[in-house]
Amino acid sequence: MHISDGVLSGPVLAGGFAATAVIAGITLRKMDMEEIPKVAVITAVFFVAALVRFSLGGISLHLTLNGLVGMVLGVRAFPAILVGIILQAILFGHGGVSVIGINTAMLGGGALIAFGVWQLRHFVPVPKREVVFGVLAGAAGIMSSGIIMSLAMTTTGKEFAVLAKAVIGAHLVLMVIEGAVVGAAAGFLAKVKPDALAGRRVPKVVAAPAAPAPSDAPKAPMAVLVLVAGLLAGMLSAPGTAQAHKLLIDYTPQENGLLVEVFFPDGTPAREVNVRLMTETGDLIHQATTDQTGGYLFAIPDKINLVADGDDGLGHAAEVEISAAELAPINLAAQTEGGARAGASKVHREAIPVGRLIAGFVVIAALAGGALLMKKRGASSGA
């Protein structure tokens, strides 16, 4: 759920950076260094959640868990998501550098809305209210982000209006999934360590401290680590694990034409994606839409250098150059535009980028460790 480079206009991109700078400044005020480890752990969850992708029609979606981030971190959710989006853009190419501002405003804003919904549990006495409002917070986080995304897209041009409506519809499904995940997390944390959740209501009258009763419940760090480990293990082992939104493209010259295939890194065919065949100078030869196998068979005018590209409609595109020498197997007189395939498919699954994942975790851990070191040095110098 990222907007990619090249989709939005300059004023919208500038507005995204301005809004992110203001909100980040406000939500970072009076931040205690001791909050950094908790923020770092939840940032890591958000960072890796983008690897779980769902393909709905022609739209590629993935888990964001910004509702979970808001529920656990409160207003600190916004800077946590900012760090996660920067790392996703640099390491995975999700979105891009120019849209870091608008993507943070979109997902971070959704996290803040989720936190507001989560806080309503103090005023509505319902059974298992942590689970109920956890579900609502998870759903509100993803849906509000989807609305912000659609509004940003509609400002770019009329051609995105139909797609913006499709984005809202697709997020209705994702809203249910995210609500279930966040609700389950809320119920778990409410049992094992309630103070790991943000926005606890502090009683007006505090009773004298009593001796702690023995309990088998895990302590706060262990509870959070168990939750995070479970989420990360589930995400990385999910069948749909892939770099979200990224498209891959390949081609196969066969006797009756040039087969162009577009697919996601998990090997899922990218169906109903716009594909174009062009000359190396950019002149359009033919434009079509991929079928259920993620491909289209083009009839070429001659054996010349060509370029093929695919676009999933949200600015996430892939392009491949084709040299004239590779087109030798094609019989120009026997071509069938969009016809049957004879060659083997080149659709394949791309491995999980473990190295980049580790690099992201190292950066997050380094930020947390640096903050703690500064805290200790400040305390020792003030002593």
Specify the CATH number for the domain of residue 170. 1.10.1760.20
Per the structure, how many domains does the chain have?
Answer: 2
Residue type, 40: A
Judge if 254 and 236 occupy the same domain: no
Judge if 93 and 51 occupy the same domain: yes
What pLDDT score does 236 carry?
Answer: 44
Other Cβ atoms within 10 Å of 257 Cβ, number: 26
pTM summary value: 0.65
Q: Compute the C-alpha angle 154/160/162, nearest 5°.
A: 105
Judge if 163 and 183 occupy the same domain: yes
- Cα separation, 119 vs 133, in Å, equals 8
Long-range contacts of 206-210 (CB under 8 A, 24+ apart): none
- Cα separation, 325 vs 337, in Å, equals 21
Residue type, 225: L
What pLDDT score does 219 carry?
Answer: 44
pLDDT, one tens digit per residue, over 279-304 is: 999 899 999 998 888 899 999 999 99
CB-based contact 115:71 (threshold 8 Å): yes
- Cα separation, 226 vs 220, in Å, equals 10
Domain that holds residue 18: 10-201+218-241+352-382
**Residue among 164, 140, 142 nearest 151 (CA):** 164
**Residue among 302, 267, 303, 272 nearest 288 (CA):** 272
What are the backbone dihedrals phi and psi of residue 279, each rounded to the nearest 5 degrees, phi first? -75, 170
Residue type, 160: F
Q: Note the maximum CA span of the chain.
A: 91
Judge if 277 and 356 occupy the same domain: no
Report yes or no on 120 lying in a domain: yes
Judge if 234 and 254 occupy the same domain: no
Residues of the chain with pLDDT under 50: 202, 205-206, 208, 211, 213-225, 235-244
Element (H, E) at 74: none
Using DSSP's 3-state secondary structure scheme, residue 253 falls into strand
Judge if 282 and 361 occupy the same domain: no
Report yes or no on 209 lying in a domain: no
Judge if 307 and 366 occupy the same domain: no
**Residue among 185, 174, 178 nearest 229 (CA):** 185
Judge if 166 and 254 occupy the same domain: no
- Cα separation, 102 vs 12, in Å, equals 8
Say which residues have a Cβ less than 8 Å from residue 312's Cβ, sequence separation at least 6: 58, 59, 60, 245, 247, 270, 273, 274
Judge if 42 and 157 occupy the same domain: yes
DSSP conformational letter for 283 = -
Report yes or no on 112 lying in a domain: yes
Element (H, E) at 357: helix 354-382
Report yes or no on 5 lying in a domain: no
Judge if 257 and 236 occupy the same domain: no
What pLDDT score does 41 carry?
Answer: 86
Report yes or no on 67 lying in a domain: yes
